[in-house]
Structure 1
Amino acid sequence: MSAPGEKAASELPQRLWLNGRVLEGRKDFERALENASEQERPVLEFGLRWCSDEPEMVLHTSGSTGRPKEIRAKKICMAASARMTVRRLGLRAGDTALLCLPMDYIAGQMVVVRSMLAGLRLVARRPSRRPFEDLARAPDFAALVPLQVLSTLEHEAERSLLAATREVLIGGAAVDRALAARLASFPNRLWSSYGMTETLSHIALRPLSGPRAGVWYEPLEGVRVSSSPRGTLAVSAPAVGVSLIETNDLVVFEPGSDRFRVLGRTDNVIDSGGIKVPAEALEELIGTVLESPFAIAPLPDPELGNSVAIVVEGTPDLPLPDFRALLRGAGLSPYWKPRSAVFVERLPRTRTGKLDRTALREAARSAPGRFRRAL
């Protein structure tokens, strides 16, 4: 039974403008499936599930920090999440929305829900690294992962379309310092999003462009955040069905404010001989001087338990920065210095573009000796 003021699942909007066609209700989605294109089919299949009388949807986590799992989410909560985003971004009926994320996960699904709730004109594309390729004009709204943004920046015409997109959400993985610096001068509004499948997409946004660009995430309306006894972020968002959830993300709060900065995940802290090395903080620092894609991973060590390794896309002759000098210049512990480098053809990532930390650790451990270098 729905709470007071809530709509039943069957009463939620079911009208979708998809690639130039207006579909409304189960029968329209079924008919459209008969001759659907490759990029439209997963949208229509999602639409059928949304139009059913079932009050919940089955969602899947990305598996970036462990095994993927199923989560059941109320449709009314997904609709509430969509409204929060629409209000924050000022999206209006008739705006165009680019869908270029996989429909297997919450990020892509919520683009569709926002489109139905706000009357957006959905442009569905096959997920790829270059979502603006062959687009004739910029959409009003787009949700991307950092890999897509990086690829877009390498092509002038596509970069121009990105800059002309009024509202851009970047999520699924962290936006590092180097990428944030490249986006800071863009004329449109770009946001780094913070959230997870359990919170039905993002619950906070960090401005990446404009006068408010910086490191602080700003909670959406109706979201309460605090610090847990472990120093991790705790989230309460009743509208999306989250009474209280404690994350594994270490955070600091801006004094006197609910704006927060993410330092890294507790499960990505490497204990090396008693020295706690936060992998993500070290990656952020190294990313200011190393252009090749890389990540920090632990390697088993008979003396230290674990040693710090840098896993780099490239060959063993690739020049690396002076890590000791870099740490000294940043006022950080010299014991954070990577003791070895492992070279791989490509860093392992999930389908949503997140770094797959579990696969990364295995790749670091199993790399042949000729692809390793002592530092």
Structure 2
Amino acid sequence: MLFISAKGDTINTAPDNPYFDKVFDLVAYWSSKSEMIELQTSGSTGKPKTIIVQRSQIEASINMTKEVFNLSENDLFFCCLNVNYIAGMMMVFRALEIGADLIVVEPTSNPFENLGNQEHLVSKNRGKNFFSFVPLQLQTIIESEKHLPLLKACKATIVGGAALNPRLEAKCQELNIPIYATYGMTETMSHIAIRDLRNEGQTFEVIKGVAIEVNTNDCLRICSPSTKDEWIQTNDVVELIDRKHFNLKGRIDNVINSGGLKIQLEQIEWKIAEKLDLQERYFCYGLKDERLGQKLILVIESEEIVVTNEQMQGIFGKFETPKEIYHLPMFLETQTAKIDKNKTVNEFIRN
């Protein structure tokens, strides 16, 4: 664990850990007032790439987040996301720019475990902690009796990087603490829209200063101070409700054509989550098929068979039922802890 106070004092419980060297590099960069920085995209939806952004874009994103969550120098920022990528990097930059205390731990499924005997740094700061997680981390913490009180000590918690399943959303509603799903990407310097998980529904609301529209394919376009007030085209299909609200349907490259029928994979995953109480991770995918062009398959992370074709056929309609179900002992992941669907299929199914 690495603790950096607003005054620059540090507590490093693992001084030989090279992961924290990157954090100190980020601190040095921010202190240098350098105007440009390289960012690495996660590669979850395509090949990873490096982009160059301006400091002013990062500052604009920080200011938007500061305003929407009412963050101040009295708060504590807890970073448990990979600092080599935008989500983790921005947690460090936010703390530095706002002048708040910062805790950094290496990414794990339950990051609070890495606090060790320093849990008091979070627990004593009740109502002033700002957390950021991926869904797997949030779910693990909620299911942990030991560390759930630390989560309840938050001022605000944001969760992003992957879709939340209905079961996790229901648990967030039950807790009734300020947990927000976020929408954003590397090119927008983190989130540009949020969704309060204390309320039921899938509608995202853009942060103040962000403009949105859709193209002819209903893919979202974004313009904000964090994009230098230039329009960014995404591959995310949305239902645009008005100028400030949208529902996320899925990525346009996750639409498959099976026997002439277009299927949005995320929509099938959502229906599976609603109708089956799967504890395991899973995803839908489109495999090449001589007869259908592409066939819908379901891939489940489990060493045991937890769902059969017969069960699926009894619950779902003809076109929503996967043609094949694969059970794999493990999924491959990106560096940001997202499921790498293409690599998983190529490694364990296509081979």
Give the TM-score of the pair, scaled to structure 2: 0.89
Q: Give the match for residue 251 of structure 1.
A: 238
CA distance in 2, matches of 1:36, 1:357: 34
Q: Report which of the two structures shows the higher radius of gyration computed on alpha carbons.
A: 1
CA distance in 1, matches of 2:57, 2:273: 37
Task: Give the C-alpha shift of residue 213 in structure 1.
Answer: 4.3
Q: Give the match for residue 39 of structure 2.
A: 59
Using a 3 Å threshold, how does the CA distance of structure 1 residues 116 and 53 change in structure 2: closer, same or farther?
Answer: closer
Q: Does 1:110 align with 2:90?
A: yes
Task: Give the C-alpha shift of residue 253 in structure 1.
Answer: 2.4
Task: Give the C-alpha shift of residue 38 in structure 1.
Answer: 4.5
SS in 2 for 1:76: helix
Task: Give the C-alpha shift of residue 47 in structure 1.
Answer: 1.7
Q: Give the match for residue 223 of structure 1.
A: 210
1:297·1:360 contact (CA, 8 Å) conserved in 2?
Answer: no
CA distance in 1, matches of 2:253, 2:142: 32
1:143·1:170 contact (CA, 8 Å) conserved in 2?
Answer: yes
SS in 1 for 2:203: coil
Task: Give the C-alpha shift of residue 363 in structure 1.
Answer: 3.7
Listed one character per residue, the Cα deviations across residues 14-35 of structure 1 (whole Å, up to 9, x for unaligned) are xxx9434733xxxx99xx9xx6
1:234·1:244 contact (CA, 8 Å) conserved in 2?
Answer: yes
Task: Give the C-alpha shift of residue 215 in structure 1.
Answer: 0.9
Q: Give the match for residue 294 of structure 1.
A: 282
1:216·1:260 contact (CA, 8 Å) conserved in 2?
Answer: yes
1:179 to 149, 160, 168: 168
Q: Give the match for residue 148 of structure 1.
A: 137
Using a 3 Å threshold, how does the CA distance of structure 1 residues 274 and 364 change in structure 2: closer, same or farther?
Answer: farther
Q: Does 1:90 align with 2:90?
A: no
Q: Give the match for residue 362 of structure 1.
A: 346
2:6·2:99 contact (CA, 8 Å) conserved in 1?
Answer: no
RMSD in angstroms over aligned alpha carbons?
A: 2.2
Q: Give the match for residue 292 of structure 2.
A: 304
Give the TM-score of the pair, scaled to structure 1: 0.83
Q: Give the match for residue 247 of structure 2.
A: 261
Using a 3 Å threshold, how does the CA distance of structure 1 residues 186 and 39 change in structure 2: closer, same or farther?
Answer: farther
SS in 2 for 1:126: coil
Listed one character per residue, the Cα deviations across residues 76-114 of structure 1 (whole Å, up to 9, x for unaligned) are 110110110011001121211101111100001111111
Q: Give the match for residue 13 of structure 1.
A: none
CA distance in 2, matches of 1:21, 1:194: 28
Q: After the TM superposition, which residues 67-86 of structure 1 pair with which residues of structure 2 at under 5 Å, given as runs?
A: 67-86=47-66
1:308·1:340 contact (CA, 8 Å) conserved in 2?
Answer: yes
Using a 3 Å threshold, how does the CA distance of structure 1 residues 313 and 37 change in structure 2: closer, same or farther?
Answer: closer
2:58·2:226 contact (CA, 8 Å) conserved in 1?
Answer: no
SS in 1 for 2:152: helix
1:119 to 99, 103, 107: 99
SS in 1 for 2:43: coil
1:250·1:264 contact (CA, 8 Å) conserved in 2?
Answer: yes
SS in 1 for 2:147: helix
SS in 2 for 1:341: strand
1:164·1:188 contact (CA, 8 Å) conserved in 2?
Answer: no
SS in 2 for 1:366: coil
Using a 3 Å threshold, how does the CA distance of structure 1 residues 365 and 37 change in structure 2: closer, same or farther?
Answer: closer
Q: Does 1:160 align with 2:145?
A: no
Task: Give the C-alpha shift of residue 50 in structure 1.
Answer: 2.5
Listed one character per residue, the Cα deviations across residues 191-246 of structure 1 (whole Å, up to 9, x for unaligned) are 1110000001010001111xx44211110111001121111111111344251011
Using a 3 Å threshold, how does the CA distance of structure 1 residues 19 and 52 change in structure 2: closer, same or farther?
Answer: closer
Q: Give the match for residue 284 of structure 1.
A: 270
SS in 2 for 1:287: helix
CA distance in 2, matches of 1:349, 1:183: 25
2:258·2:294 contact (CA, 8 Å) conserved in 1?
Answer: yes
1:66·1:358 contact (CA, 8 Å) conserved in 2?
Answer: no
Identity %: 30
Task: Give the C-alpha shift of residue 364 in structure 1.
Answer: 5.4
Task: Give the C-alpha shift of residue 286 in structure 1.
Answer: 0.6
Q: Which amino acid aligns with 1:293?
A: R
Q: Which amino acid aligns with 1:199?
A: T
Task: Give the C-alpha shift of residue 294 in structure 1.
Answer: 0.9
CA distance in 2, matches of 1:239, 1:126: 27
SS in 1 for 2:239: strand
Listed one character per residue, the Cα deviations across residues 295-340 of structure 1 (whole Å, up to 9, x for unaligned) are 1112221111211111111235333473234334xxxxx2121011
1:50·1:57 contact (CA, 8 Å) conserved in 2?
Answer: no
1:96·1:120 contact (CA, 8 Å) conserved in 2?
Answer: yes
Q: Give the match for residue 337 of structure 2.
A: 353
Q: Which amino acid aligns with 1:79?
A: E
